[in-house]
DNA sequence: GTGGCTGCTTGATCAGAATCAAGAAATATT
DNA sequence: AATATTTCTTGATTCTGATCAAGCAGCCAC
């Protein structure tokens, strides 16, 4: 299962994969378990082997602001906290019981030291996590939902529409109407 | 002038600065000159010594979509093209005659090889360029403009309001009304 | 089962920003 | 200097999505 995680990043040979398996930790996390807490400095990347996880921040009013929804075979982490080593503004938690891989920064440094192939992690760390920044304010609610249907339909099997709506920065009412409209159009 | 560029990234000793000065190229660019063209793979970071630059992409309809405005003493580049070594979707051009420093990826690798201090460039590359991602769709036009007034007022001295509006993803009419409203409030 | 909670839908209203339109001011060109 | 072009402002209208409100369905606990 660890090989999957590497395959999503680039090409690695058998020796690299063996090095990786020695560094990575396999964690069984319970529904609701927190992997990164607001105020902590992110020290690891995570890879979702199976299950589901989500990232969110709390607004002053206490509302959950969802910034990421993660399915199987996706890496997830807080890029800004990790890269700049500053306290996280967000939480990352498992949404259902999950198996995740955890790879610390120290491990990445060790891996890069042992094999140049692991430089490929730089481009992973440099990129915003899955889909999160696709949703700038130029997209309409229909386009946002169409993007989910097109690229990440599995989200709809796992997360309630309420959370999808929060992730897309639209209200549940608007999402409901968008779905009705698209269903009618088919 | 090269030292300024390093100071914005972290702490470097005299030997590091000397190494840096040997790698960096000083370029005099004319108004309108293109530093990165759509379709090319970004190979350099730029630092604006003086002048002004901007980043933009062309939508299918041909409209200019401004994604970055850069002033003196700011680094600018295309993070996604640079990190992933994929073709750029955007252009970077000088807005006025400018002096910029250019630092290639190869130079960064050379510098890192010669001094561990240059690892600090990783966190620069990993971060979205100045202010660009502050404008997610949770901010109102007033908040967006207030952010500019607070953090980057110099933009207003150099770029026409039309471009500021495009950068903020609002119409020029809305920007004009926001300015009128804030001026009245003072 | 009944009651209560949560998630989802549907309707009515409201507000904010885009669009459409015109004119004024500033800048560039000749 | 005169004209042309671009930028900025102001007004009227429209439209999209948020908000407010109510009702329904599914699910859990008791």
pLDDT < 70 regions, chain B: 1, 60-62, 126-137, 185-186
Q: What is the pLDDT of residues A33-58, one digit of tens each?
A: 999 999 999 999 999 999 999 999 98
Write down the pLDDT at residue A180.
93
Please give the Cα distance from A144 to B134 (Å, whole number): 19
In a shared domain, residues A91 and A156: no
**Per-residue tokens: B133:** 């991602």
Q: Residue A84 and residue B138: Cβ atoms within 8 Å?
A: no
3-state SS class at B144: helix
Residue A156 lies in a domain: yes
Write down the pLDDT at residue A116.
79
In a shared domain, residues A30 and A75: yes
In a shared domain, residues B93 and B147: no
User: Beta carbon of B30 within 7 Å of strand D?
Assistant: no
Write down the pLDDT at residue A59.
76
Closest nucleotide to B160's CA, by C1' atom? D7
User: In chain B, how many domains are there?
Assistant: 2
Strand pairing report for B44-50 and B74-76: antiparallel
Write down the pLDDT at residue A184.
74
Residue-range definition of the domain harbouring residue B156: 141-185
Q: What is the pLDDT of residues A88-114, one digit of tens each?
A: 999 999 999 999 999 998 898 888 888
Domain boundary among B114, B132, B150: B132
b/e B126-163 (16+ beta carbons within 10 angstroms → b): bbbbbbbeebeeebebbebbeebeeebeebeebbeeeb
b/e B23-40 (16+ beta carbons within 10 angstroms → b): bbeebebeeebebbebee
Distances (CA, A) of B20 to A85, B99, B112, B117, B125: 24, 17, 10, 11, 16
In a shared domain, residues A87 and A48: yes
Please give the Cα distance from A34 to A43 (Å, whole number): 14
**Residue B23's CATH number:** 2.60.120.10
Domain boundary among A130, A150, A169: A130
Residue A101 lies in a domain: yes
In a shared domain, residues A154 and A97: no
- Mean pLDDT per 10-residue interval, chain A, length 186 residues: 84 92 95 94 94 88 83 90 85 94 91 82 66 65 94 94 95 96 78
Distances (CA, A) of B123 to A85, A160, B73, B110: 9, 35, 17, 17
Bases of strand C lying below 7 A from some protein CB = 7-12, 16-21
Write down the pLDDT at residue A110.
87
Write down the pLDDT at residue B79.
82
User: Beta carbon of B141 within 7 Å of strand D?
Assistant: no
Residue A135 lies in a domain: no
From B142's Cα to the closest Cα of chain A, the distance in A is 15
Give the CA-to-C1' distance from B173 to C23 in angstroms.
14
Domain boundary among A105, A130, A155: A130
In a shared domain, residues A158 and A122: no
Query: Is A147 within 8 Å of A139 (Cβ atoms)?
Result: yes
Report which DSSP code applies to A52.
-
Residue A97 lies in a domain: yes
Write down the pLDDT at residue A143.
94
Residue A22 makes CB contacts below 8 A (sequence gap 6+) with none
Q: What is the pLDDT of residues B94-141, one digit of tens each?
A: 999 999 999 998 898 888 888 878 878 877 776 655 445 556 667 899
Write down the pLDDT at residue A134.
55
């Amino acid at each position: 299962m660890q090989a999957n995680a590497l395959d999503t990043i680039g090409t690695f040979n058998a020796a690299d994969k063996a090095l990786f398996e020695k560094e990575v930790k396999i964690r069984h996390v319970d529904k609701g378990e927190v992997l990164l807490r607001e105020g902590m400095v992110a020290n690891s990347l995570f890879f979702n082997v199976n299950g589901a996880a989500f990232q969110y921040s709390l607004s002053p009013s206490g509302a959950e602001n969802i910034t990421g929804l993660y399915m199987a075979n996706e890496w997830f982490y807080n890029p800004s906290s990790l890269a700049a080593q500053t306290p996280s503004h967000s939480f990352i938690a498992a949404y259902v019981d999950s198996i995740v891989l955890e790879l610390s920064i120290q491990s990445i440094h060790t891996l890069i030291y042992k094999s140049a192939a692991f430089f490929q992690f730089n481009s992973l760390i440099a990129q915003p996590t899955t889909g999160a920044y696709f949703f700038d304010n130029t997209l309409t609610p229909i386009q946002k939902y169409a993007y989910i249907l097109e690229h990440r339909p599995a989200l709809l099997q796992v997360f309630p529409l309420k959370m999808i709506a929060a992730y897309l920065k639209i209200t549940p009412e608007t999402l409901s109407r968008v779905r009705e409209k698209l269903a009618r159009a088919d």
